[in-house]
Amino acid sequence: MLNTLSILLPIFGLIAAGFISRRTGVLGPTAASELNRYVVWLALPALLFDIMAHSHWQALFLPAFINVYLLGTGIIFLLILVWRLSQGKHLADASVDGVAAAYSNTGYVGFPLLFLVFGASSQIPTTIASIIVVCILFSIAIMLIETGLQAEKALHLRIKSVLSAVFRNPLVVSPIAGVIVAASGLTIPDSVETFLHLLSDSASPCALVSLGLFLASSRSEKPNNSDNETRVAWVLTFTKLAIQPLLVAALAFWVFDMDRTLAMMAVLLAALPTGTGPFMLAEFYQRNAFITAQTIMFSTVISLLTLTVLLNML
């Protein structure tokens, strides 16, 4: 548990730094949204481009692992999406909630935790999981959000607007650009590499501080239906920490012919708490981020216990 706590403690620290900064007035009421815009337009695109441009695609070709984690992520996303739509929620809000239930914090928790347990052999599976949640899941969610936001237009105008918005979104364009660079064999100059690393290294810290800022603001200005939204956050948290790893375990051990160590890595990655990605989406599209923020907090705190139990079982 101490090892897990040492990995999760910096996350709590950054969220607390944002929370305290807002409550003490060091940062103003627009700080959360402005800092989040920095992450979405600069830091995260740099990170996505850097990951894709430096991915060794032959080493990343682990078909069974890809199938298991992609299915485990996609099924959870679809289940929550359908559930929230059945409750009358807007497609954009339902999509954000779906991401919150399926988006593992591979960057801040996954890499150090799996390295601690499995050593250097965990880096490739964790990279694959990161690409699935940060690139594929994000892109699908963005397309659905844009579709929901353009719903009132005629079909041909809706398709045109959605495609235009999606391919102007930095979170979609940057990984595509990274793939093009990787496929072309181009060498990125050292100065550009330094620029990308400086930006990408700030993505997670800034997103966590932004989350703390938002939580401080939402505490003083709770939405009218905050109790219901808190219940939804608990459902998403349970789905993320219990249902998703159980689903991935079933796929890994009984459906696909996977190496046992890879299967255990997949389960552990699925059991990680929710990352900051869905919060960034909610803020960027000006949706209600209260549920997402609470899900990130609840899942991060509770994962201290669930990850410890899972590590002992594995």
In this prediction, residues 240-253 reach a mean pLDDT of 95
Which pLDDT band, with edges at 50, 70 and 90, does 246 fall under? very high
What pLDDT score was predicted for residue 94?
95
Question: Distance (Å, rounded) from C-alpha 262 to C-alpha 121?
Answer: 9
What is the mean pLDDT of the segment spanning 185-202? 89
pTM above 0.75, yes or no: yes
Q: Does the pLDDT of residue 222 top 70, yes or no?
A: no
Question: Does the structure show a pLDDT above 70 at 224?
Answer: no
Per-residue confidence (pLDDT) for residue 158, from 0 to 100: 61
Domain map of the chain by residue range? 2-313
pLDDT digits (tens, 9 = 90+) for 48-98: 888 788 877 677 788 999 999 999 999 999 999 999 999 999 999 999 999
Supply the DSSP symbol for 106.
I
Can you give the pLDDT at residue 117?
83
Look at residue 155 and tell me whether its pLDDT is greater than 60: no
Specify the pLDDT at position 304: 83
- Between the CA of residue 78 and those of 32, 71, 74, 249, what are the distances in Å? 29, 10, 6, 18
Q: How far apart, in whole angstroms, are the C-alpha atoms of residue 140 and residue 253?
A: 27
To the question of domain 2-313 being in CATH 1.20.1530.20, the answer is: yes
Taken in order 267, 7, 275, 48, the sign of the CA dihedral is negative
The reported pLDDT for the residue numbered 71 is: 96
Give the mean model confidence (pLDDT) for residues 189-194: 92
Most confident of 14-18, 142-146, 246-250, 284-288: 246-250
Tokens matching residue 221: 């200005």
Residue 276's pLDDT band (cuts 50, 70, 90): confident
Per-residue model confidence as pLDDT tens digits over 84-125 = 999 999 999 999 999 999 999 887 788 878 888 888 888 888
Closest CA to 149 of 92, 86, 96: 92
Phi (first) and psi of residue 53, to 5 degrees: -70, -25
Q: Indicate the average pLDDT of the chain.
A: 85
Among 44-48, 156-160, 215-219, the range with the most confident prediction by mean pLDDT is 44-48
Q: Residues of the chain with pLDDT > 70: what percent? A: 89
Q: Read off the pLDDT of each residue in 208-222 and give the average, rounded to a whole number.
A: 75
For residue 153, is pLDDT > 80? no
Section 241-268 average pLDDT:
93
Query: What is the chain's Cα-based Rg?
Result: 19
Pick the residue with more confidence: 80 or 29?
Answer: 80
Quick one: CA torsion of 155, 158, 164, 169, rounded to 10 degrees?
-140
Q: 104: helix, coil or strand?
A: strand
Q: What CA–CA distances, in Å, run from 152 to 34, 114, 290? A: 29, 45, 26
In single-letter form, the type of residue at position 216 comes to A
Give yes or no for residue 286 having a pLDDT over 70: yes
Better pLDDT: 194 or 219:
194
